[in-house]
C-alpha cells in the first residue's frame, strides 16, 4: 500500500460472466452500496444482481420534454394570437393541428439535448474527467476480456483488510488497489500558451478576411457576385422606361389559365350561368373553399361577422334581399374581379371552386331565409321516409 496516495477502492477481476454475476449478487447481499461492475459488453441481469434502483434519467427527459412542449406552444400562441395576429387561409389564430409538428420536434430535440447534458453534468460530474480507474491495469482488462468489480472506500462497510478478504472469497483471478491520481495543476496564462493563442487568432482572422473579401472576387469566382440579372424593383439601364421588372407581353395567356374577359368592369356584359349542379360533392367543395377564403371576412355563415378583429371593415351580410336576388353570374364576377375593399380571388380559387362556393352560399341563404313551404316539403319528405 502506498501511503503517499489516497485509496479509491479495491478492484477484483473475474474470468467469466457467471462469476461476475455471482460476485455482484454476493456483494449486494453483504450490504455494500458503493460498488460498481465493469464488463467489456452488457451482461444480462447485472442490474438485478447489483440491486440497482431504476435510473432517474427518464425523469430529466420527461421534465424538459414537457417544459419545451409548453414553452413552444405558449410562444406560438403569443406570437400569432397576441403579438402578430394574422388569419392565414381561414385558420384560427391558434391553429393547434398546424402547431403539432413544431411542438413534437421541439419536444424531442430539447428532451434529448437536456438528457445528454444532464448525464454529462450531473451523473458523470463533468468536467471532473480524471477518474481513478482511467489508465489503470484494471480498466485495460475489463475493456477487453475480463469482468471487474470495484468497492469504493466511501462505502460505510469498507475496511481495507476485511473488504480485500471478502473479494478474495469470491474467487477472482486477481485483485488490485486503485488510488486517486495525483492532481496536476496547469497555469492557464503561461507565456507559451498566450503566444500560441495569439498566433492562432491572427492566422484565422487574416485567412478569413482574405477568403471572404479577396479570394471570392477573383476569376473565376467573380460570377458569384457579378451576375447578369435584375433584382426586384431595381432600375434598368437597358429598357427605355427604366424598369427592371417587366410585365408579360400583352395578350399572353398562362398555360392552363382561361382569361376572364370582363376584368375591370362593374358588371359582366353577358349573362353568366352556373355550370355546376348543387350535388353533395359540389356543396362539400364549396363549403371547404368558403370556410378557407371567404369566412375570415364574411363569417362562417355569411353574416358579415369578420374574424379579423378590426383589421378591415366588416363586409355587409350576404343574407340581404339585395344579395339573395343577385344572379349567380354577378356573384361570380365579384369573386373574380373584386369589389370595394374585397380583392380578386381569381388566383387563389379556380373557376370550378368559385361556382361551388356560390352553390354553397345559396344553401346558407336558403337556410337563413327558409319559407313555410320549405318546412312543409321537409315534413312531407320525412313522412315518406318513415313509411
pLDDT in tens, 283-292: 999 999 999 8
* Cα gap 343→171, rounded to integer Å: 89
pLDDT of residue 303: 84
Place of cell 420527461: 62
105-148 residue pLDDT tens: 999 999 999 999 888 888 777 767 778 888 889 999 999 999 99
Host H or E run for residue 383: helix 372-386
Query: Among residues 23, 21, 22, which one has the least CA distance to residue 11?
Result: 23
- Tell me how far apart the alpha carbons of residues 348 and 144 are, in angstroms, rounded to a whole number: 67
Top mean pLDDT of 81-85, 333-337, 374-378 is at 333-337
**Distance of alpha carbon 207 from alpha carbon 217, whole angstroms:** 15
Angle at 325 between CA 324 and CA 330, to 5 degrees: 95
* CA triple 295-94-106, angle to 5 deg: 140
Beta bridge partners of 149: 12, 37
pLDDT at 384 (0 to 100): 54
DSSP state letter for 313? P
Q: Within 10 Å of residue 295's Cβ, how many Cβ atoms?
A: 19
pLDDT digits (tens, 9 = 90+) for 163-183: 999 999 999 999 999 998 887
Q: Which three cell numbers stand for residue 41?
A: 459488453
Give domain limits for the chain. 1-183, 186-246, 280-371
**Closest to 30 (Cα-Cα) out of 158, 171, 177:** 158
Task: Using a pLDDT cut of 90, give the percent of the chain over it.
Answer: 41
Judge whether 364 and 318 are in contact, CB under 8 Å: yes
Residue 209's pLDDT is what? 95
- The pLDDT assigned to 306 comes to 78
Residue 315 has pLDDT above 80, yes or no: yes
Give the mean pLDDT of 329-334. Answer: 90
The confidence band for 188, taking pLDDT boundaries of 50, 70 and 90, is confident
Looking at the predicted structure, is the pLDDT value of residue 310 above 70? no
Contact 337, 262 (CB under 8 A): yes
Measured in residues, the chain has a length of 387
User: Which pLDDT band, with edges at 50, 70 and 90, does 206 fall under?
Assistant: very high
Question: For residue 246, what pLDDT is reported?
Answer: 85
pLDDT confidence of 248, banded at 50, 70, 90? Answer: confident
Assign 277 to helix, strand or coil: coil
Alpha-carbon distance of 372 to 364, in angstroms, equals: 17
Average pLDDT (216-230) is 77
More confident residue, 246 or 202: 202
Quote the pLDDT of residue 379. 55
Q: Report CA torsion sign: 341, 346, 351, 352.
A: negative
Whether a cis peptide bond, with omega within 30° of 0, leads into 264 is: no
CATH number attached to the domain at 280-371: 1.10.760.10
pLDDT-derived band at 374 (thresholds 50, 70, 90) equals low
User: Which residue carries 353568366 as its cell?
Assistant: 272
Residues with Cβ within 8 Å of residue 49, at least 6 apart in sequence: 21, 22, 24, 25, 28
Q: For residues 341 and 297, give the distance between their C-alpha atoms in angstroms, rounded to a whole number.
A: 11
- The lowest-confidence range among 230-239, 255-264, 333-342 is 255-264
Please count the CA atoms within 13 angstroms of the CA of 292 that sit on its side-chain side.
13
Mean pLDDT in residue range 74-83: 86
Q: How confident is the model at residue 2 (pLDDT cuts 50, 70, 90)?
A: low
Please write the tens of the pLDDT for every residue from 15-54.
Answer: 999 999 999 999 999 999 999 999 999 999 999 999 988 8
Contact between residue 364 and residue 301 where contact means Cβ atoms under 8 Å apart:
yes
pLDDT for res 382: 55
The Cα 297–Cα 319 span in angstroms is 14
Q: Give percent above pLDDT 70 in the chain.
A: 91
Contact 335/264 with Cβ under 8 angstroms? no
pLDDT surpasses 80 at 338: yes
- Whole-number mean pLDDT of the chain? 85
Amino acid at each position: 500500500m502506498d501511503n503517499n496516495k489516497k485509496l479509491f477502492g479495491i478492484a477484483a477481476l473475474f474470468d467469466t460472466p457467471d462469476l461476475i454475476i455471482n460476485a455482484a449478487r454476493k456483494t449486494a447481499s453483504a450490504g455494500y452500496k458503493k460498488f460498481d461492475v465493469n464488463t467489456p459488453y452488457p451482461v444480462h441481469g447485472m442490474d438485478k444482481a447489483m440491486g440497482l434502483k431504476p435510473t432517474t434519467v427518464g425523469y430529466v427527459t420527461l421534465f424538459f420534454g414537457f417544459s419545451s412542449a409548453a414553452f413552444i406552444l405558449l410562444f406560438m400562441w403569443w406570437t400569432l394570437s397576441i403579438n402578430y395576429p394574422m388569419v392565414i387561409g381561414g385558420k384560427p389564430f391558434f391553429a393547434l393541428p398546424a402547431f403539432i409538428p413544431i411542438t413534437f420536434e421541439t419536444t424531442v430535440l430539447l428532451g434529448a439535448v437536456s438528457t445528454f447534458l444532464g448525464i454529462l453534468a450531473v451523473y458523470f460530474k463533468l468536467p471532473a474527467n480524471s477518474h481513478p480507474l482511467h489508465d489503470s491495469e484494471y480498466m485495460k482488462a475489463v475493456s477487453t476480456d475480463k469482468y471487474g468489480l470495484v468497492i469504493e472506500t466511501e462505502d460505510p462497510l469498507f475496511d481495507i483488510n476485511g473488504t480485500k478478504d471478502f473479494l478474495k472469497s469470491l474467487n477472482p483471478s486477481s485483485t488490485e488497489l486503485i488510488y486517486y491520481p495525483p492532481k496536476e495543476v496547469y497555469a492557464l496564462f503561461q507565456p507559451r500558451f498566450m503566444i500560441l493563442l495569439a498566433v492562432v487568432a491572427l492566422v484565422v482572422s487574416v485567412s478569413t478576411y482574405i477568403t471572404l473579401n479577396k479570394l471570392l472576387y477573383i476569376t473565376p469566382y467573380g460570377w458569384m457576385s457579378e451576375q447578369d440579372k435584375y433584382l426586384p424593383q431595381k432600375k434598368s439601364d437597358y429598357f427605355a422606361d427604366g424598369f427592371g421588372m417587366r410585365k408579360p407581353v400583352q395578350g399572353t395567356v398562362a398555360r392552363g389559365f382561361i382569361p376572364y374577359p370582363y376584368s375591370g368592369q362593374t358588371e359582366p356584359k353577358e349573362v353568366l350561368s352556373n355550370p355546376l349542379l348543387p350535388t353533395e360533392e359540389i356543396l362539400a367543395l364549396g363549403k371547404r373553399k368558403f370556410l378557407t377564403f371567404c369566412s375570415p371576412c364574411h363569417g362562417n355563415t355569411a353574416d358579415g361577422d369578420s374574424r379579423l378583429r378590426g383589421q378591415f371593415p366588416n363586409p355587409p351580410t350576404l343574407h340581404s334581399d339585395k344579395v339573395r336576388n343577385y344572379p349567380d353570374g354577378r356573384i361570380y364576377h365579384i369573386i373574380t374581379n373584386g369589389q370595394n375593399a374585397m380583392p380578386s380571388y381569381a388566383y387563389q380559387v379556380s373557376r370550378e371552386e368559385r361556382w361551388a362556393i356560390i352553390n354553397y352560399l345559396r344553401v346558407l341563404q336558403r337556410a337563413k331565409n327558409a319559407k313555410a313551404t320549405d318546412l312543409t316539403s321537409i315534413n312531407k319528405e320525412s313522412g315518406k321516409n318513415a313509411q
